[in-house]
Structure 1
Amino acid sequence: MEITLIRHTSVDVEPGICYGQSDVGVSVEFEKEANAVRSKLREQTFDCIYSSPLSRCLKLADYCGYSNPVIDKRLMEIDFGAWEMKRWSDIKDPQLQRWFDDWLAEKPTRGESFNDMIRRVDKFISEIERHSYQKVAIFTHAGVIRAACIINKQFSAAEAFNYKVNYGDCIKIII
């Protein structure tokens, strides 16, 4: 099965803000960025379209002509819990340093670890593998894209943040 992982366009959030699963809006560059994504997908057909429930993904899916994707919460970005919508430099939680030291296993306060996210993405991929799909598109987030690549053994979890995922990227993996 070929999976095209599509990262949402840039967001209307000040740099340095932790926004993970917060439902933030898209930037003023949305139409320009979305046109670029739509042109990448133009000649492709998919057996099924999935999306994170967050509006930044749903808006891009709709703009690209997929107004009714299958929505799945497992495609949401990592949950930063109590840190959501806070400036990273303003987070005084002692858990922050533990998380920086071991972001794979440590959880943000009331959030999830990167390993937790990998497990939920793995469950999602295992579920869609049971279908007879040849090609699937997924509108999602950088963390989920990295998790899918880890599951697909393109790199290890420890190498995940060395793998750049830009806004509007369309990344294909074969499962």
Structure 2
Amino acid sequence: MSRFFWVRHGPTHAKSMVGWSDLAADLSDTAALTRLNRALPSDALVISSDLVRATATADAISGTRPRLPHDPDLREMHFGAWELQRFDEVEDQTLIRAFWERPGDIRPPGGESWHDLSARVDRAVARLLAAHPGRDIVAVAHFGVILTQLQQGLKVGAYEVFGHKIDNLSVTELTRQDAGWQVGRINHSP
């Protein structure tokens, strides 16, 4: 049995689609970071996406936990030409509506689809499970990344999983057993 504690990075305060842009996280709420650190297993391995908002958050909560190298496969969705734009700023409103309303194979220009993101994150999780069987893992990542794994655990479609809120500095817990994924707490703020 392996448990994943998916932690969403600290807030960036951006009001647009932030995928691969390397925006810093606001980690000024030290009380929230302390509570988060205490809520996580003390012997867990810690890994993060390679984007600074995730690496800095992981550094802030890792404490004495062993730190694994950053993994670019845990990055947020690549929004391509839509990066750092608000929904209403995207020129092709038909495409962006389809992207959010029928997630799957639809891609932003130069970006990746929901299925692309899911496959990328699944590869990272499979590598972690193979390299560290039976270990607890704290994975500091992004909204979309966490939703891809929650979708598997809940056995729902992408559109349905988008209905879940994943706040900054929250924990979503998934346990891998022989029968598959079990979902524990979702969007838990310690």
TM-score by length of 1: 0.86
Asked if 2 retains the 8 angstrom alpha-carbon contact of 1:7 and 1:142, the reply is: yes
- Report the CA distance shift for 1:170/1:154 in structure 2 as closer, same or farther (over 3 A): farther
Distance 1:67 1:26 in 2: 22
* Number of residue pairs aligned between Structure 1 and Structure 2: 171
- 1:23 and 1:56 in contact (8 A); partners too: yes
Alpha-carbon offset, residue 57 of structure 1: 0.8
Deviations 1:23-73 (A, max 9, x none): 1122374434423322322x5311x32110011111111111268432111
Contact 2:10 2:27 in 1 (8 A): no
Match of 2:143 in 1: 142
Contact 2:7 2:140 (C-alpha < 8 Å) held by counterparts: yes
Partner of 1:63: 60
CA deviation string 1:129-168 (max 9, x = no partner): 2132421110101111111122334533231111111111
What residue number does 1:52 align with?
49
* Equivalence map 1:5-154=2 (5 Å): 5-13=6-14, 15=15, 17-27=16-26, 29-41=28-40, 43-46=41-44, 48-64=45-61, 65=63, 68-93=67-92, 95-131=95-131, 132-154=133-155
Matched letter for residue 104 of structure 1: G
TM-score by length of 2: 0.80
Residues 30, 84 of structure 1: alpha-carbon distance in 2 compared, 3 angstrom cutoff: farther
Asked which structure has the greater RCO (Cα within 8 Å, sep 6+), the reply is 1
Cα contact 2:103–2:159 (8 A) shared by 1: no
User: What is the aligned-residue RMSD (CA, Å)?
Assistant: 2.1
The one-letter amino acid paired with 2:52 is S
Counting aligned pairs with the same residue, the percent is 23
- Aligned partner of residue 138 in structure 2, secondary structure: strand
